[in-house]
Structure formats: C-alpha cells, structure tokens
C-alpha cells in the first residue's frame, strides 16, 4: 500500500480507526480486524483514551505485540465526554499519556492528538506540555482533532519558536460532508497532514444504501442515534448519482469515496473504522483508484 507523510512518520494511505473496539466489537473480533489490516498493508492505527473507555487502546496494544516497530500508533487525549477531569491542561496531559502508554503496552506514541479543543485552557499551555513529551521521547509527533481553521492559525501563532507544532489535523470529511475543505487547503499550504475521519459518512457511502432499497438493519445509521438524519432523501439521491458515476468507471461508490479523499495532496491517511476483516480488505482495495484531474472535476460537478 502507498504511504504518505505525517511530519516524520510514514503512514499507509488507509488507516484503521479503532473507535469500534470495546464498544461495537469485543477483543477477539478487534484482533481479527487488526490482523487483517496488517495483512492488507495498513500500518497506521488511530485510537483514543475515550474509545471503549480505554478498552480500544488495550485491545490494540495486545494485538500488536511483536509488531510494534512495524506500525504507527496514533491516540488521542482530552475528550471530556463522561470524564469532566479530562481536558488539555498541562497538569493532565502527562497523566493521560502514561495511561495510554500503559494500556497500549508501549514506551512511545507516534502521533499524540488533542481530541477536541479545550476552551478552558490556552492552546499555548497545551503545546508547551506536548513539546515536553516530545523532548522526553515519549511522543514522536503531535496532532489535533476537530479544530477549525481559526483554531489552527491561533495554535501556529502562539507556538514558541523551535517548539513542536501540530503535524496533523483530524476532522470529518467525506463526499457528503465537505465543510472542512478550507482546513484541507490550509493544511496543504502549511505543510500539515489532514486526516479525514468518517470517510464513508457512517456507512452511507459503502453501497449498502440505495434509492428504492430497504436499508440494512442493525447499522449505525438505522439504529436511531445521532447518525440517523444522514439517511434522508437528498443524501440518498446524491449517493445514487455518485454510485452511477463510479459504476460507469467500473468502480464502486466505496472506491470513489476513498479516491476522492486521496485526491487532496494534504490527505495523508484516510481513517476508516471497521468491524470485520472483510471491511478492512474492501477499504484497502478502494485506495487503488487515483482520480485524474478530469475525474475530480466531474465528481465536484456532481456534488454541486
């Protein structure tokens, strides 16, 4: 599989998002997914202290025993959901990292990411604490997630000279939700990697949802949660247009979803979750479509 750069890190253009581990699938199923990813050439694994309340990191660490030097591990800290003591305060960050290192069974995190902006802590303070962890050799690169363009610019502006900077930003981006393209463009300009999550719009871009067909049961979109609003008439009609375009090129809408994202030079790795080995193999294969400039223009015209 092709690789791109996040700072000093070489990562596969398809990464495995580990948010399902410890929540939607158990440890055995998680290990199957991880091993299938390795077999498919995936070397980039993205987790967080909050996924499965720590179980995701534990499952990932145990499944990667003996393969640590072959992979790039990214994890996140600071998401306060259910844990009000978390955040981006300098006093909390070293403790959060030690917890992640223990659960992952490693002595370093390759990419350590602030999961969400913390309005209660100056970003300069957070960057100072992260710089100390890089200097100590416990973190190789730092990144952020769910940051706006203005927040990224602020982080760059207040950074101490010669201190570490955010090497990546991980935000939601896919064919149906394209609001982050200003951040993608700025990332290309500033030499920062962009990591799109939810590349398949929570499954809507997998080909399972088509006009006139009954949606599959038991999926994230059909379970009635916060993803259900995605399944509306407008999105289904757009999915139908995109699927027909992909099929006219002998491809699937899944291939198009990955190919479109990887046509952005700033995109280093497409972070895709999976609950089965089959999904991993499909995702890895989808990265083979490199859209030409003309194809990219045609897709953008379809998107409107």
51 is catalytic: yes
Question: Residue 123 in contact with residue 84, Cβ under 8 Å?
Answer: no
Q: Which of 51, 112, 197, 198 is catalytic?
A: 51
Q: Which long-range contacts (CB under 8 A, 24 or more apart) does 144-147 make?
A: 144/113, 144/114, 144/117, 144/168, 144/169, 144/170, 145/76, 145/113, 145/114, 145/115, 145/116, 145/169, 145/170, 145/171, 145/197, 146/115, 146/116, 146/117, 146/170, 146/171, 147/114, 147/117, 147/171, 147/183
Among candidate residues 239, 241, 149, the one with its CA nearest the CA of residue 202? 239
281 in Cβ contact with 40 (< 8 Å) = yes
- Tell me which DSSP letter residue 38 carries: H
C-alpha dist (Å) from residue 6 to 9, 18, 64, 69, 267: 5, 19, 21, 17, 9
Angle between helix axes 55-63 and 27-39 (nearest 10 degrees) is 50
Residues with active-site annotation: 51
């Amino acid at each position: 599989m092709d690789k791109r750069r996040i700072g000093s890190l070489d990562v596969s253009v398809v990464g495995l998002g580990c948010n399902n581990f410890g929540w939607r699938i158990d440890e055995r199923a998680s290990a199957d997914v991880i091993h299938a990813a390795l077999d498919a050439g995936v070397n980039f694994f993205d987790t967080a202290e909050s996924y499965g309340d720590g179980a995701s990191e534990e499952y990932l660490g145990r499944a990667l025993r003996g393969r640590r030097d072959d992979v790039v591990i990214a994890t996140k800290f600071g998401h306060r959901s259910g844990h009000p003591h978390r955040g981006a305060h300098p006093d909390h960050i070293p403790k959060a990292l030690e917890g992640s290192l223990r659960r992952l069974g490693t002595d370093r995190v390759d990419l350590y990411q602030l999961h969400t902006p913390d309005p209660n802590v100056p970003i300069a303070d957070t960057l100072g604490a992260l710089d100390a962890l890089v200097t100590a050799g416990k973190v190789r690169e730092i990144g952020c997630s769910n940051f706006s363009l203005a927040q990224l610019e602020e982080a760059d502006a207040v950074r101490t000279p010669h201190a570490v900077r955010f090497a990546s930003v991980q935000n939601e981006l896919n064919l149906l939700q394209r609001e982050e393209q200003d951040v993608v463009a700025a990332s290309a300009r500033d030499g920062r990697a962009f990591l799109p999550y939810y590349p398949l719009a929570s499954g809507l871009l997998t080909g399972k949802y088509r006009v006139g067909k009954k949606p599959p049961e038991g999926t994230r979109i059909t379970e009635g949660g916060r993803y259900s609003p995605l399944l509306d008439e407008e999105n289904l009609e757009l999915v139908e247009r995109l699927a027909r375009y992909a099929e006219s090129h002998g491809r699937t809408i899944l291939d198009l979803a990955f190919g479109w994202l990887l046509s952005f030079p700033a995109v280093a790795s497409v972070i895709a979750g999976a609950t089965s080995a089959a999904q991993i193999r499909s995702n890895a294969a989808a990265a083979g479509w490199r859209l030409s400039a003309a194809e990219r223009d045609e897709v953008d015209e379809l998107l409107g």
